Amino acid sequence: MSLQATKLQELLKENAIGEEEFAFCLGIEVTAAEQLCSGKRKLTKKLARQIEQTFSKPNNWLDVEDDSEGPSYDLFG
């Protein structure tokens, strides 16, 4: 499963929604949402940014493997 599909599955669990509700939130077809969440269809950049904005995720969250949301400072390093 692709990184984006894995993150979409996490997003569904986090928001306690299914693929149908996910589709309605984004204004896309349910079949398209199912394909995206299963990794059978790749996200466009535009849709990826829309998902991040809709679900309050940081910019490029779907494209980056690291889940840290901001700068990390090591006070003793």
The tokens describing 11, both together, are 């997003």
Residue 1 has pLDDT above 90, yes or no: no
Supply 35's token pair: 């394909």
Name the pLDDT band for 65 (thresholds 50, 70, 90): confident
Whether 73 shows a pLDDT value over 60: the answer reads no
Task: Write out the chain in H/E/C secondary structure.
Answer: CCHHHHHHHHHHHHCCCCHHHHHHHHCCCHHHHHHHHHCCCCCCHHHHHHHHHHCCCCCCCCCCCCCCCCCCCCCCC
User: Does the pTM exceed 0.75?
Assistant: yes
Q: Which residue has the tokens 């390093």?
A: 77
What's the pLDDT score for residue 67? 53
User: What's the pLDDT tens digit per position in 37-53?
Assistant: 999 999 999 999 999 99
